[in-house]
């Protein structure tokens, strides 16, 4: 099955007494050494504890160069894809049976890159993993941040588009929105000025696009005015399917995991998921397998 993945990178800033006269490069080198040490030993960490749900990081596997685990929110709900029912011991605070809305993550601790399997129902990775790292490294680091990885090759990728598969657009400016799509006034007799928000999702035939279309997409990327979201799924000249975020410029990939989607309701096939996440890091700037 195919799933989207998102990329992040960890950065650390020493406490003043520790990091006096230390460069950012030196601080990150020390962070790599610390993450590869035995500082993170437990298999499970509670990030947020509430009456009916907890946000938890579970470390499934780790070694001297990587960390693989689950970020989960546990609560009493129905099960589904990337959601698993777990039995709870009687002496613990949560209910006897609860459900995890979760996602998998893989951290290459030698490069500080993280890759996360996208699941909109799971807790947000950046905020929660940042809280986790700051708690574990608070003796040495004043701040540890987890930042989104941005795609610095979008202009080149636009020039290499062969065909477009999907548009996913949210308009900030209704004036632009009604120019892009059929006006609500013409279709339903409702004034365009009454529109508060407009969004459009299109799946189109994969036909060869013209230089004019590429020019318009490049203009959208450079100016970004009027859009809060402008995502494309395209085929490039090498027949690869890629995703482009023209507003925020975040790097995203769609990966294929050779696993039945039913198995994502439990954590039974760690090796397949871990390998798919690790392989998705190949090609990122600064990443070496």
Task: Write the pLDDT tens digit of every residue in 80-113.
Answer: 555 555 555 443 333 344 456 788 999 999 999 9
Higher pLDDT, 279 or 22: 279
pLDDT of residue 62: 87
Task: Assign 129 a pLDDT band (cuts: 50, 70, 90).
Answer: very high
Question: Is the pLDDT at 140 greater than 90, yes or no?
Answer: no
Q: Residue 127 is inside which H or E element, if any?
A: helix 125-136
Q: What percent of the chain has pLDDT over 90?
A: 23
Higher pLDDT, 10 or 26: 10
Cα dihedral value 86, 89, 92, 96, nearest 10: 50
Taking the C-alpha atoms of residue 154 and residue 43, their distance in angstroms, rounded to an integer, is 39
pLDDT of residue 49: 66
Spatial neighbors of 275 by CB under 8 A, at least 6 apart, are none
Higher pLDDT, 197 or 207: 207
pTM: 0.70
- Tens digits of residue pLDDT in 211-233: 999 999 999 898 877 788 899 99
pLDDT of residue 84: 55
Question: Is the pLDDT at 74 greater than 90, yes or no?
Answer: no
* Mean local confidence (pLDDT), 244-251: 88
Task: Assign 123 a pLDDT band (cuts: 50, 70, 90).
Answer: confident
Domain ranges of the chain: 2-148+255-280, 154-250
- Tens digits of residue pLDDT in 152-192: 889 999 999 999 999 998 887 665 666 666 667 777 777 77
**How would you class 212 by CB atoms within 10 Å of its CB: exposed for 0-12, middle for 13-18, buried for 19 or more?**
exposed
Q: How many CA atoms lie within 13 A of 161 on its CB side?
A: 29
* Mean local confidence (pLDDT), 231-241: 88
pLDDT of residue 13: 83
Question: Reduced to 3 states, what is the DSSP secondary structure of residue 111?
Answer: coil
């Amino acid at each position: 099955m195919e799933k989207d993945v998102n990329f992040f990178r960890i950065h650390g800033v020493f406490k003043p007494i520790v990091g006096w006269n230390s460069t950012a490069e030196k601080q990150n080198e020390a962070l790599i050494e610390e993450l590869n040490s035995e500082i993170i030993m437990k298999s499970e960490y509670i990030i947020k504890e509430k009456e009916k749900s907890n946000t938890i990081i579970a470390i499934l596997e780790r070694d001297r160069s990587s960390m693989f685990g689950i970020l989960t929110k546990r609560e009493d709900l129905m099960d589904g894809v990337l959601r698993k029912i777990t039995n709870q011991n009687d002496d613990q605070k949560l209910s006897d049976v609860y459900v995890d809305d979760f996602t998998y993550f893989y951290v290459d601790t030698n490069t500080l890159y993280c890759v996360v399997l996208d699941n909109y129902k799971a807790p947000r990775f950046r905020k929660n993993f940042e809280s986790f790292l700051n708690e574990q490294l608070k003796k040495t680091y004043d701040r540890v941040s987890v930042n989104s990885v941005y795609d610095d090759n979008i202009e080149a990728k636009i020039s290499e588009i062969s065909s477009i598969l999907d548009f996913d657009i949210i308009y900030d400016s209704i004036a632009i929105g009604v120019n892009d799509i059929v006006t609500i006034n013409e279709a339903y007799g409702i004034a365009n000025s009454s529109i508060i928000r407009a969004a459009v999702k299109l799946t189109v035939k994969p036909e060869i696009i013209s230089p004019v279309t590429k020019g318009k997409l490049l203009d959208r990327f450079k100016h970004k005015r009027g859009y809060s979201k402008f995502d494309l799924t395209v085929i490039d000249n090498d027949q690869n399917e890629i995703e482009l975020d023209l507003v925020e410029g975040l790097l995203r990939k769609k990966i294929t995991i050779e696993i039945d989607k039913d198995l994502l309701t439990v954590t039974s096939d760690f090796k397949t998921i871990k390998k798919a996440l690790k392989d998705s890091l190949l090609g990122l700037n600064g990443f070496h397998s």
